[in-house]
Structure 1
């Protein structure tokens, strides 16, 4: 297989400035991504075990629409339910057997929220709007003899065309990079610490809808954060303030490890202590107060939003893990970039572009931005070729949550 591959050799990829954002795991957009992906994995494992293959589906249009809550120091409750839009498409039949898609997805959705928000009574506090369909994409002409008519209701495995020829389902692109920049690493480390089970063992007040925005100009880094507190575990305003200062000290300890950089940290800049307007919540997330989240509006592949990097708008969570162009090309591009960096020690960014209906393992165009010279050309081509030839192996890794999709 000969790749249509172009390598842009550069002296330096990283700029003198960058902006990096991460929406923490309790942010509505990140929750929507996580829910869409969990539903895809659950459905994929169910159908593979039962029918021998992952059936056609996509849950990349899932949405979370906030409820309403009453908040006081030491107490709180939901006054209106959180609305969950289960949207997308899924095979509802295999042969003569009906698949209980609605029951499967609703039960898994309730489990998803109960695990993350034990204070919720999921039967009462979630209002699930079920809009999943089994309509085929364009191509199922009535007079045709192809398998497109049976895309979401296969008669048997012979109707799954990807088992014979793995093709792009769409004209789309995916991208990946390696390694993380210093600012990206810091932001991931800080959010990861604050949202870790270990850190929260003695901080039950700490919510998970943590948002971080960082800006770097050369060696000067400014970071602003939103950190929620859970009202059931905060007795008064003084306690709220002390909690923030305790977290601030822990974050500054992380900053102190990066001795070549100058830092400035801002936390909860919207708080107004005089009028007691605070980031105080019942659940620890803004999903309780009207905020909304949808798949694809948050973090990109790798878990950050970095607008000065090679970038795709593709919302990959919840998409089919076998043949969806945007998803498969994002994860394999990440693998290619990681292999190149590990082999050469040089930074790189990878873009893969696919044409609908053409081979998934043979991108229409492959573009690689590489911080180095042409002496690495052979290694770069070999790595890209080997990874793309084995692209189907990415499916198992996706199914085991082996990639940071958002």
Structure 2
């Protein structure tokens, strides 16, 4: 076993569900920031697979710099059109040459972006509604160095990853609300709603307020009465979703910026606000657990698009979360926070520090959990290559 710097201590932060106020946000898959994250990650996975197919190893790349510039749209009941397409810039770095082999990294990025958007935003015409400008910076290497790089890679940054467990009811509710509204089954029932859904959940003691923004699709709306009826249906659906998560008092609100008397309602042509001036950028949305949690420690790293082999800004956030989940399962442990800090150039399985903060269910001495917690952390660090494999295979969500 490696002599790693793993520090276990008692958490002095009160349990989140014991706090009077808790606020959680979730940006849905069609939100411009989430679309930027999704494109970044999809391009990274596509490049990773291309490198694996050609060379049996993943070469240097980072595609965590995607910018979406909103277009111009004119939605109207029963129709509407896109007047100016959504503009997407893909930045980052990639290896485009190995010896005499050229890798078309920008073509791969553009093709992957179209495929991703076609799958995620069902009313978006990827040939007409978007313009893509891939400007991934290039680099070259030699085949010998590719094979010499096998083994435990070194951290390519000095950074910090954060994770915690378990999720609170408020956090579970934010996740479940968006995922249900954006599920295939829900879209079959309500084709009028798009993929751009944002959920903000505010808990005060035992009362929960949900403010949900839902982009509707004008093609499937007959008139204003149809839209207003849809909103009422969605409020009832949110009540139903909430009852599966919590017994607390729920107060849902949908599209609160509407002003029907002035003709202001949230309808779109494509189902995403990116069509009408709402911009997006990688890293401005959900953290690796799918949430923006204002009452929890968070890392500001944009995990999506970072390479899955040695970029600790991605790996350590996911690693910390996986460790926290397992430590929290120890009998007597109520809540866990994990922070993992890297030092550039050092092996990724040897973090500069891995800090586990445990909040016990009772006033127990945290020392009794130390050995088990350290063992769990050691095991996850020993198996970092398997974490990378899960990322490449799309088995772990990163936003």
With the length of structure 1 as denominator, give the TM-score of the two structures. Answer: 0.92
Give the aligned partner of residue 363 of structure 2. none
> What is the alpha-carbon distance in structure 2 between the residues aligned to residue 106 and residue 162 of structure 1?
28
Q: 1:259 to 1:325 in 2, by over 3 A?
A: closer
> What is the alpha-carbon distance in structure 1 between the residues aligned to residue 316 and residue 152 of structure 2?
17
Post-superposition shift, 1:121?
Answer: 3.4
Post-superposition shift, 1:207?
Answer: 0.8
Post-superposition shift, 1:228?
Answer: 1.4
> What is the alpha-carbon distance in structure 1 between the residues aligned to residue 35 and residue 135 of structure 2?
19
RMSD (Å) for aligned C-alpha atoms: 1.5
Of the structure 1 ranges 110-119 and 163-172, higher mean CA displacement relative to structure 2 is found in: 110-119
Give the aligned partner of residue 15 of structure 2. 13
| Match among 215, 221, 237 for residue 202 of structure 2 | 215
CA deviations 1:273-299 (Å, max 9, x no partner) are 101100000011101001111110000
> What is the alpha-carbon distance in structure 2 between the residues aligned to residue 157 and residue 74 of structure 1?
60
Give the aligned partner of residue 28 of structure 1. 32
Give the aligned partner of residue 293 of structure 1. 280
1:225 aligns with 2:226: no
Question: SS in structure 2 opposite 1:174?
Answer: strand
Give the aligned partner of residue 47 of structure 1. 51
| Match among 362, 374, 377 for residue 384 of structure 1 | 377
1:201 aligns with 2:205: no
Give the aligned partner of residue 4 of structure 1. 5
Contact 1:67–1:288 (Cα < 8 Å) also in 2: yes
Of the structure 1 ranges 212-221 and 154-163, higher mean CA displacement relative to structure 2 is found in: 154-163
Post-superposition shift, 1:130?
Answer: 2.1
Post-superposition shift, 1:256?
Answer: 2.9
CA deviations 1:14-46 (Å, max 9, x no partner) are 241211000011000001001100000011011
Give the aligned partner of residue 351 of structure 2. 363
Question: SS in structure 2 opposite 1:62?
Answer: strand
| Match among 161, 169, 193 for residue 182 of structure 1 | 169
Q: Which runs of 5+ in 2 are unaligned?
A: 361-365
1:98 aligns with 2:102: yes
Contact 2:29–2:120 (Cα < 8 Å) also in 1: no
> What is the alpha-carbon distance in structure 2 between the residues aligned to residue 280 and residue 125 of structure 1?
17
Contact 2:159–2:343 (Cα < 8 Å) also in 1: yes
Contact 1:13–1:370 (Cα < 8 Å) also in 2: no
Q: 1:276 to 1:259 in 2, by over 3 A?
A: same
> What is the alpha-carbon distance in structure 2 between the residues aligned to residue 182 and residue 204 of structure 1?
29
Summarize the alignment of residues 48-67 of structure 1 with structure 2, pairs less than 5 Å apart: 48-67=52-71
Of the structure 1 ranges 363-372 and 353-362, higher mean CA displacement relative to structure 2 is found in: 363-372
CA deviations 1:213-248 (Å, max 9, x no partner) are 111122221111111110000010000011111111
More strand by share: 2
Contact 1:332–1:387 (Cα < 8 Å) also in 2: yes
| Match among 368, 375, 379 for residue 368 of structure 2 | 375
1:123 aligns with 2:127: yes
| Aligned pairs, number | 389
> What is the alpha-carbon distance in structure 2 between the residues aligned to residue 279 and residue 363 of structure 1?
47
Post-superposition shift, 1:369?
Answer: 1.7
Give the aligned partner of residue 304 of structure 1. 291
Give the aligned partner of residue 82 of structure 1. 86
Give the aligned partner of residue 112 of structure 2. 108
Post-superposition shift, 1:127?
Answer: 1.1
| Match among 361, 378, 402 for residue 395 of structure 2 | 402
Post-superposition shift, 1:118?
Answer: 4.1
Question: SS in structure 2 opposite 1:269?
Answer: coil
> What is the alpha-carbon distance in structure 2 between the residues aligned to residue 339 and residue 229 of structure 1?
40
> What is the alpha-carbon distance in structure 1 between the residues aligned to residue 153 and residue 202 of structure 2?
41
